[in-house]
Amino acid sequence: MVVDFEMNKVCAAGTGSFLEEQAEKLDISIKGEFGGLALSAEKPVRMGERCTVFIESDLVHHQQKGAQKDDLVAGLSYSIVQNYLNRVVEDRRIGNRIFFQGGTAFNKGVVAAFEKVLDKQIIVPENHDVTGAIGLPSWPKRRRHGSDRVSKDLI
């Protein structure tokens, strides 16, 4: 059962499209190369956890200093994780069973960064890109029956 959920706020919104834009600027495929490059990085660069505008500025700075693509991509992954933890999670407790849903969960670099930062396994469920859409229609029916739990007869 999901016990806590939070959507991205302004400075953490658009994470997937931001990563895709940066991948294009680095001349790499977000689907084919990004995750693998991030996983192979030896020295991920630090880009902070602020708004994506500032992260992008840090990316350009590190690129001008000669940072390797894999370290840049890994740095982007860690920045996205820190941004999410600081802007969305804030001071809430993080449990031991963590489900990562949405399109960004396709990105193995971001998943690995979450696991490393949190020192916990991240579960990416099947159909993670549409999980919210699958669960939403059954929610009013569950509420009408006085339960927030998913039962087999409602699926």
**For residues 140 and 112, which has the higher predicted lDDT (pLDDT)?**
112
> pLDDT tens for residues 2-18?
555 555 555 555 688 88
Q: What angle do CA 26, 127, 16 make, to 5 degrees?
A: 25
Q: DSSP strand E in the chain: where?
A: 98-99, 122-123
- pLDDT (average), residues 98-119: 92
Predicted pLDDT at 126: 85
Predicted pLDDT at 152: 42
Terminal C-alpha separation, the chain: 14
Spatial contact of 85 and 113, defined as CB atoms under 8 Å apart:
no
Look up tokens 């001008």; give the residue. 64
- Taking all residues of the chain, what is their mean pLDDT, rounded to a whole number? 82
> pLDDT tens for residues 16-42?
888 999 999 999 999 889 999 999 999
pTM of the complete model: 0.78
Predicted pLDDT at 27: 95
Read off the pLDDT band of 63 (50, 70, 90): very high
Predicted pLDDT at 53: 83
**Cα–Cα distances in angstroms (integers) from residue 117 to residues 26, 49, 81, 120, 132, in the given order:** 24, 13, 8, 8, 25
- pLDDT (average), residues 97-115: 90
Q: Is the pLDDT of residue 82 over 70?
A: yes
